[in-house]
Amino acid sequence: MIKGLSISWHDLSHFGHLWIYFLKWPLYFLACWTAILYRRWRKSRNENTAQGWPSVEGVIISGKVTPIPKTSQFHASLQYTYFVGEYRTGKYDHDFSSEADADNFVRQMKDKRIQIRYKESNPDKSVLEQRAIEQYILLTPNFG
């Protein structure tokens, strides 16, 4: 401690609002990136689980792009349909670094016929694998 400089907890409490800002933004950043990484891990785990499932042809029926809050990333979501005894739907998600790439991806995938893997004991559970998507998006440099 510097001689003659006396700072008490009471003095520091006057700057409490600043401490909130020093903690709030890094915590937001960490929470957003944790959510992104968790989604990627879950997607990878689902694809690995579906390796032994039968596949059927499906069609991408729609897509939507939304910004991911507190980041510069964009979330593209594709809705697809497939037939196993009856028509069923599923969803495929992917994150992009720019809105233009995400929009381009959704536009390219709309109305494409694609292989869907489904769980035999529960056909409502399905997975659209990334490598199936990559067959159509070979020319898109920012996919991955």
Nearest-angstrom CA–CA distance, 78 and 64: 7
More confident residue, 142 or 40: 40
**Tokens 């809105």 found at:** 99
Nearest-angstrom CA–CA distance, 125 and 89: 9
| Per-residue model confidence (pLDDT) at position 2 | 55
- Is 48's pLDDT higher than 60? yes
Nearest-angstrom CA–CA distance, 71 and 42: 20
Least confident of 22-36, 50-64, 78-92, 114-128: 22-36
pLDDT-derived band at 139 (thresholds 50, 70, 90) equals: very low
Residue ranges of the domains in the chain? 10-144
| Per-residue model confidence (pLDDT) at position 26 | 81
pLDDT-derived band at 51 (thresholds 50, 70, 90) equals: confident
Q: What is the 3-state secondary structure (H, E, C) of the chain?
A: CCCCCCCCHHHHHCCHHHHHHHHHHHHHHHHHHHHHHHHHHHHHHHHHHHHHCCEEEEEEEEEEEEECCCCCCEEEEEEEEEECCCEEEEEEEEEECCHHHHHHHHHHHCCCEEEEEEECCEEEEEECCHHHHHCCCCCCCCCC
